[in-house]
Chains A and B, each alone.
Chain A
Amino acid sequence: TQLLEQSPQFLSIQEGENLTVYCNSSSVFSSLQWYRQEPGEGPVLLVTVVTGGEVKKLKRLTFQFGDARKDSSLHITAAQPGDTGLYLCGGGNEKLTFGTGTRLTIIP
């Protein structure tokens, strides 16, 4: 079983601050995905990273895949209340499994 660990589990910051959340594993992944989930809804895909060392940007969100393809990070610049949600990383070589998630709250 390929385990994904996310940190921190909870994060609460002021609007306008920057933050980074992490997704780590002892296993190598062919790709990793980041999803965001809002209350009462299913997760929605933000990005997929495939190549070791890859960096992808989605507006104020920057995703990085580790060189060894065992970890990933999500950096948010100038956080806004709309960024509030549960962030999940997911991956797997034959079945899609997820980490425990980071619950992010942005305080206006």
Chain B
Amino acid sequence: NAGVTQTPKFQVLKTGQSMTLQCAQDMNHEYMSWYRQDPGMGLRLIHYSVGAGITDQGEVPNGYNVSRSTTEDFPLRLLSAAPSQTSVYFCASSRDGGMGTEAFFGQGTRLTVV
């Protein structure tokens, strides 16, 4: 049972480059979300989705785009990477958008922008 799978695990980008962080879940969860984790900042919500075709902004959405064309996949796109986007990124999924259901996290993508 794979759960939530994130790729890649590590990535180094140059300023201005673009890339997509992949996230896939095999639990048929409706709710998926992306967080970034910086030292001393906990987890900050970037974007989230309550189902296929529906996305919304979180606390820190600037510089990131998402789409949700299928239930399983929720990619995060950086259009023009900046050093301020150096962080560890986590994708999570849960059964539905109702709060109180368990969120399952991937192992994270460590991104460095130079």
Contacts and interface: CB of A to CB of B under 8 A. Distances in A.
Nearest to A100: B42
A43 B97 CA distance: 18
Where chain A touches its partner, the secondary structure class is loop
Contact of A98 (B42, B100, B102, B108): B42
B2 interface: no
A42 B106 contact: yes
A90 B58 CA distance: 14
A38 to B, nearest CB: 11
Interface string B71-114: 00000000000000000001010100101101111111000000
Interface residues of A, number: 29
Contact of A97 (B40, B58, B100, B104): B58
Contacts of B94: 96
B25 to A, nearest CB: 12
A50 B85 CA distance: 35
A31 B101 CA distance: 9
A94 B106 contact: no
Interface in A83-99: 88, 90-99
Contacts of A35: 103
Interface of A: 1, 6, 9, 29-31, 33, 35, 40-45, 48, 50, 88, 90-101
Interface of B: 4, 33, 35, 40-45, 48, 56, 58-59, 90, 92, 94, 97, 99-100, 102-108
